[in-house]
Chains A and B, each alone.
Chain A
Amino acid sequence: MGFGRYVTARVLWAGVVSLIITTITFLLVSAAPNPSVQEAATQAALQGGDPAEAAERARELRGLDQPLYVRYMDFIESVYTFDWGWSRSRSQPVTEALGQGLYYTAQYSVPWTVLTVLIGPLVGVYSAANMYSWKDHAATGFAFFGYAIPNFFFGIILLLIFGVWLEVIPVVYNTDVAVFSVQNAVQLSIPVFVLVTGSIGAVMRVSRNESAEFQNAEFMKTAKAKGVSPLRAYAYHVMRPTLVPLSTTLVGQLLALFLGSSLLVEVVFGIPGIGRVTYNALIAQDTNLLLGSTLAFTFIAVIGNLLEDLVFTVLDPRISYDDR
């Protein structure tokens, strides 16, 4: 199988996966009682009307009296045409709510991801190169500190120091400033720092251990014997094989971190990102928005996995398309 066919197959498979997840979501939602129907019934009961009749009317209004397969087709159609409904807890269309959330989340998560992917392996390889020296211990200590300290707590402490005491960053996140401006960089520096220290630990440890394996490998000895400079030796011959196992875990890990730790950091720093959108939708029982963010995360995960598979083959030419 050639590269082109491999990519096509992967993309098609990603489509199938997303369809399966969407279908499961639909089945779960249709099995759960609809809050707006219940609300209509309660309203009617309060105002002396007939709750059963009101519920029936609400069901008709929302097309819930249609057979299951018709509703399923409608659902699938609206999912893939991005007609995701109205968010009751924010009074705006779901796609707009998610778009706004992603807009703010991207502003800190892009630098966060880039820095993690760059710094993590570098520190790891550096540690491995200086194994058991004080430099290794310092780097390891730094990584473990970031990994161990809860992000939200670290965030509050830094906010207290830099926001309240030193007043170098604003305490209330300002949504008015331009994305590419000094002010924005300043106000995002602390959240990004907190997130990078939180996620760098795992990446750094894995790459340290992996590269420790390669730095004494036959090809390294050969390279050294040929007089390759240490920089080139590490960058070309150690880094590249190290990144292969790393890239399998990286995307999944970052995605998991995305929702979990970004929510707490968003709450602490008051960034109106996707984590808070999702969390508040859950609290407010905003079904449409919740569904929308589930789907958004599903799509991100599916695309992430797809990219991972593709990056793989580029990093390590030995991986054949046929086996997988």
Chain B
Amino acid sequence: MSRRHTDETEGGRHIGRRQWLSALGIAGVATLAGCSEQGGDGGDGSDGSDGSDGTDGGDGDDGGDGGDGVELGDFPKFGVDDLYGPEVARNLAQQAFEQSEYEYGFDGDTMVNPDGDQVEINIYHSAGQETSQLTAEFIAQELGENLGINVVVEAIDGTRFNNEYWTGEPQGGTDTVNGEEVEWESPTPQNPGPRSVTSNEPWDMSVVFGLNTYPLNPLTNEVFFDGANPFYNPVGYYPQFDAQALFEEARQASSREELQQAFVEIFENLAREQPYITLLFSDDLVGYNPDLEGPIENFSNGWDLPAWHFNDPSVSGSYDTVTSAGFTTLNPLYNTENGAGNAIARALDQGYTFDENQEYFPLLYDMSTEDGEVWTFEVRENLQFSEPYGQVTAEDFVYLIQELHQSDWANTAASSSWDGVEVEQTGEFEFEATLESPNLLWPQTYDPLLYPIPRGLVEPYVEEEDVEGLEQNEELLELQFTGNLGPFTLDEWNRGSGTEYTRNDEYYLRDIDEGPDLFSEGPLFEEAKISVVEEQASRLGALETGEADSAAIPPEQYESYDEDENVTVRQVPTPYNTIISVNQRENGWNAGPGNLFQLVPFRQALASAISKDSLIEGVYRGLAEPHFTWQPRWSEFYPGEE
């Protein structure tokens, strides 16, 4: 599931959260290269694809564009209906000119700088990615027609853009934001300091990266918007509203309602201020074997894999998928890759998942809390490791957290998730975790998500503090301890060609009370297989001939596969947005003195000069939804329509 911040357009390149953490250091280049393609089950999806095309009206305010101001309402939707067009855009731009200390203006249809020359700015897109390029060209055309700006479209390699333009040398410093002194205490490459601290190369606008909007756990968005000095702020956005107070409110919330209130306010403000110019959410396209029952066009697609089946619901066949890259490791303690995560999941369940309504669904353990601070974990009593490790108990989990995740030597993939959490065993099948500060959405952060690892297996390494031994342990690497804990058992991991599994007859999920009825017989495949096929044409070929039951479809081939009777294409929504990043730092805006991008009305003007509907129809073939604030429409924290 998604725990990543950035995404290079078209859902092609996702950067893992931990990889992204390590990008703090020298490994930046490598992480960008280490992207994963959304293959296999299409694990990330949502239920939002109702084809909304921005017909939600303009907030009931029709007193639109007359006179000085533009009526925006609480939740403005730029780029559709009343808030789209040259008039609105120019009106908003005019407001920005008045706020600016320099004399920008319109000369006829053309926007001119204080010297009287036409405003000329550039926009970068990912080199070699058709959709990215078309998006940039469309933006250039709209800004030219509706605002009289000359936009120059340029291609750039994603890694180069990240290193030279998107990130900078962390320097820190202080600045006055909304009349208050703000200090950059712990600068990062993605927020190296106040607006005066910049990347190596100047740039104006870019559609190279999309970002994660974290619809399940919007609190995570504080990395982008918690004041002027959050963790991740490459564009140098200073909120004009009290973002820090609102995020604090959300953190302190003790009920779902309070939480919702705080977030709705945050997202209304973000819709108004347009820190990044929000454009759209595009879907992942996954092709399936038409005989396969189970895939859904939902954010949680794949959560109920044990109930998937071919034709009639009986155990038959082999569920075969393809992936574009081999797995670095299948050791659950050290894996940070999405693809390998899927490969592990075939043989080993994690603590919980989210069902098609995005609600917590207990797998190995149930989690409950009163106040969001103390969480109780109840471990199921029918869980067995392979011999000689016996039954899974609370002790295994507590030992795993305390002796590995919280140790200073093991550096497990989950170590940052358990910082500052106090864990205590309270019964044979029960343990408690106390958080530093309450968080009602703790499960949604995926932080308390654990793999079951037998204490007996890791104990010798803990005593020796032997990281290498732990990383290279064959039982962990080959998943030989998984007992009844996964739908399948791993038969073979061929490093070059993938993994093969057979059905686990003992799967514990069959004896649980919750979930679909079919769980009682799951999984409904005799075998499963994940093949590494690096060439996209070969992956698609395998899907067509039925050798693979699922594969990602590139957007430009959507139509041909949609018509193909051998393939059923599903549009699976993602939390990644498509945005224009506008550089509000000192090396942004290279069209004259000052930086108009820093002014809210100017960003609003840009947003209202670009038709979201035309962009979606023209470039995305209708396979996307308009994006107004930092949440998709199906999120429960999306501001109301009234």
Whether A38 contacts B541 in the complex (CB less than 8 A), given A91-B331, A270-B535, A280-B326, comes out as no
Interface 1/0 per residue, A90-103 and B, CB below 8 Å: 11100001001100
Min CB–CB distance B81 → chain A (angstroms):
45
**CA gap between A33 and B330 in the complex, in Å:** 28
Q: Could you say which of A46, A86, A171, A272 contacts B24, with CB atoms under 8 Å apart?
A: A46
Interface set, chain B 2-51, CB cutoff 8 A to A:
21-22, 24-27, 30, 33-34
A268 to B534, CA, bound (A): 7
* Known contacts A156-B535, A276-B534; is-contact A42 B25 (Cβ 8 Å): yes
Which chain B residue shows the least CB distance to A40? Answer: B411
Smallest CB–CB gap between B59 and chain A, Å?
44
Cα A283 to Cα B325 with chains together (Å)? 11
Q: Considering the complex, which residues of chain B in the window 398-425 have a beta carbon less than 8 Å from any beta carbon of chain A?
A: 408, 411, 415-416
Contact of B538 among A49, A92, A270 (CB under 8 A): A270
- Report whether B328 and A89 are in contact in the complex, using a CB–CB cutoff of 8 Å: yes
Residues of A within 8 A of B471 (CB): 91
Kindly list chain A residues whose C-beta atoms are within 8 Å of the C-beta of B494. 100, 175, 272
> Which residues of A sit under 8 angstroms from B477, Cβ to Cβ?
91
Chain A residues within 8 Å of B328, by CB: 88-91, 284
The winner among B416, B495, B545 for most chain A CB atoms within 10 A is B495
**B542 cross-chain contacts in A, Cβ below 8 A:** 171-172
Known A-B contacts A86-B472, A272-B532, A280-B326; A171 and B538 likewise in contact (beta carbons under 8 Å): yes
Given contacts A42-B25, A283-B33, contact A272 B545 (CB under 8 A): no
The answer to whether B27 touches A42, judged by C-beta atoms less than 8 angstroms apart, is yes
A170 sits at the interface (CB 8 A):
yes
Question: Which B-chain residue is minimally distant from A33 (CB atoms)?
Answer: B26
Given A39-B27, A42-B22: A171 in contact with B541 (beta carbons within 8 A): yes
B80 within 8 Å of A (CB atoms) = no
Are A172's CB and B538's CB within 8 A?
A: yes
**Contact status of A163 and B535, CB under 8 A, knowing A46-B22, A272-B494:** no
Q: Tell me if B586 is interfacial: C-beta within 8 Å of chain A.
A: no
For the complex, is A77 an interface residue (Cβ under 8 Å from B)?
no
Q: Which residue of A lies closest to B472 (CB)?
A: A86
Q: Does A277 contact B (CB under 8 A)?
A: yes
A192→B426 CA distance, assembly (Å): 63
Question: B495 contacts A97, CB within 8 Å?
Answer: yes
A46: which B residues are within 8 A, CB to CB? 21-22, 24-25, 416
Q: Specify the chain A residue showing the minimal Cβ separation from B476.
A: A91
Select which of B322, B532, B535 is within 8 A of A268 by beta carbon: B535
- How far apart are B216's CB and chain A's nearest CB, in angstroms? 25
The answer to whether A41 touches B497, judged by C-beta atoms less than 8 angstroms apart, is: no
Contact of B533 with A by CB under 8 A: yes
Tell me the residues in window 140-179 of chain A with beta carbons closer than 8 Å to chain B beta carbons. Answer: 156, 159-160, 163-164, 167, 170-173, 175-176
- Asked whether B515 is an interface residue with its Cβ less than 8 Å from the other chain, the reply is no
Contact: A267 with B496, CB < 8 Å? no
A97 CA to B21 CA, complexed, in Å? 29
Partner of B545, one of A92, A100, A171, A273: A171
Closest B residue to A176 by beta carbon equals B500
Chain B residues lying within 8 Å of A176, measured Cβ to Cβ, are 500
Residue B162 lies at the interface, judged by CB distance under 8 Å to chain A = no
A182-217: which have CB < 8 Å to B?
A: none
Asked whether any CB of chain B lies closer than 8 Å to the CB of A8, the reply is no
- Asked if B82 is at the interface (CB within 8 A of a chain A CB), the reply is no
Contacts of B496 in A (CB 8 A): 100-101, 104, 175, 272-273, 276-277
A290→B71 CA distance, assembly (Å): 62
Q: Known interface pairs A38-B25, A43-B411, A270-B532. Does A167 touch B545 (Cβ–Cβ under 8 Å)?
A: yes
Within the complex, the shortest CB–CB distance from A261 to chain B, in Å, comes to: 15
B284 part of interface (Cβ distance < 8 Å): no
Residue of B at shortest CB range from A280?
A: B326
Contacting A at CB under 8 A, from B516-543, are: 531-535, 537-538, 541-542
Within 8 Å CB of A167, what residues of B?
Answer: 545
B545 / chain A contacts, CB cutoff of 8 Å: 163-164, 167, 171
Does B329 interact with chain A (Cβ within 8 Å)?
A: yes
- Whether B204 sits at the interface, judged by CB under 8 Å, is no
The answer for the CA separation of A118 and B538 in the assembled complex, in Å, is 31
> Judging by beta carbons under 8 Å apart, are B22 and A272 in contact?
no
Interface residues on B, range: 35 or more
B548: CB under 8 A from chain A?
A: yes
B297 within 8 A of A: no
Contact B544 A164 (CB under 8 A): yes
Residue among B30, B472, B534 with the highest chain A CB neighbour number at 10 A: B534
Q: Is B547 an interface residue (CB 8 A)?
A: yes
Q: In the complex, how many angstroms separate the beta carbon of B32 from the nearest chain A beta carbon?
A: 12
Q: Which of A45, A164, A272, A273 contacts B25 (CB 8 A)?
A: A45
A285 CA to B416 CA, complexed, in Å = 25
The answer to the question of A269 belonging to the interface, with a C-beta cut-off of 8 Å to chain B, is: yes
* Interface status of A229 (Cβ within 8 A of chain B): no
Query: In the assembled complex, which residues on chain A have CB atoms less than 8 Å from the CB atom of B408?
Result: 47, 49
Q: Which one of A86, A92, A164 contacts B495 once the chains associate, using CB atoms below 8 Å?
A: A92
CB distance from B553 to the nearest CB of A (A): 15
Interface centre among B330, B411, B471 (most CB of A within 10 A): B411
With both beta carbons as reference points, the residue of chain B lying nearest to A157 in the complex is identified as B537
**A227 CB to nearest B CB, Å:** 56
- The smallest beta-carbon distance between A72 and chain B, in angstroms, is 23
Q: How far is the CB of A311 from chain B (nearest CB, A)?
A: 32
* Contacting residues, chain A, for B411 (C-beta < 8 A): 43
- Measured between beta carbons, the chain B residues less than 8 angstroms from A269 are 538
User: Is B497 a contact of A42 with CB atoms below 8 Å?
Assistant: no
Which residue on B lies nearest to A164, using beta carbons?
Answer: B541
Give the shortest distance, in Å, between B183 (CB) and chain A (any CB).
Answer: 19
Q: Which residues of A contact B548 (CB under 8 A)?
A: 172
Whole-angstrom CA separation of A86 from B472 in the bound complex: 9
- Please state if B541 and A42 are interface contacts (CB–CB under 8 Å): no
B501 to chain A, nearest CB (A): 13
Please name the residue on chain B nearest to A104 by beta carbon. Answer: B496
With both beta carbons as reference points, the residue of chain A lying nearest to B419 in the complex is identified as A47
Chain B 242-276: CB-based contact to A (< 8 A → 1; otherwise 0): 00000000000000000000000000000000000
**A45 touching B531 by the CB < 8 A rule?**
no
Instruction: Decide if A159 touches B495 in the complex (CB within 8 Å).
Output: no
Complex Cα distance, B329 from A39, in Å, reads 17
Q: Give the nearest-CB partner of B544 in chain A.
A: A164
User: Measured between alpha carbons, how far is A38 from B331 in the docked complex, in Å?
Assistant: 22
Q: Are B541 and A100 in contact (CB under 8 A)?
A: no
CB distance B27 to A159 under 8 Å? no
Distance (whole angstroms) from the CB of A170 to the closest CB of chain B: 6
Interface centre among B416, B538, B544, B547 (most CB of A within 10 A): B538
In whole angstroms, how far apart are the Cα atoms of A175 and B330 in the complex?
A: 19
Instruction: Report whether B531 and A100 are in contact in the complex, using a CB–CB cutoff of 8 Å.
Output: no
Most buried by A among B21, B415, B497: B497
A residues within 8 A CB of B500?
A: 176
- Taken residue by residue from 460 to 475, chain B's Cβ proximity to chain A (1 for < 8 Å, 0 otherwise) reads as 0000000010011000
- Nearest to B29 among chain A residues (CB) is A285
CA distance A88 to B472 in the complex (A): 9
Contact between B27 and A172, CB atoms less than 8 A apart: no
- Write the B85-127 contact mask toward A (1 if CB under 8 angstroms, else 0): 0000000000000000000000000000000000000000000
Q: Which of A72-91 contact B (CB under 8 A)?
A: 86, 88-91
5 A-B interface contacts by CB (under 8 A): A42-B22, A163-B541, A270-B534, A270-B538, A272-B326
Binding site for B on A (CB under 8 A): 38-39, 41-43, 45-47, 49, 86, 88-92, 97, 100-101, 104, 156, 159-160, 163-164, 167, 170-173, 175-176, 267-270, 272-273, 276-277, 280, 283-285
Give me 7 other A-B pairs in contact (C-beta within 8 A), A91-B471, A101-B496, A269-B538 excluded: A45-B25, A90-B495, A163-B541, A163-B545, A164-B541, A167-B545, A172-B547
Give the 9 A-B CB pairs with smallest separation, nearest first: A272-B496, A42-B25, A171-B541, A91-B329, A171-B542, A164-B541, A90-B495, A175-B497, A272-B497
Interface residues of chain B, those whose CB is within 8 Å of chain A, are 21-22, 24-27, 30, 33-34, 322, 326, 328-331, 408, 411, 415-416, 468, 471-472, 477, 494-497, 500, 531-535, 537-538, 541-542, 544-545, 547-548
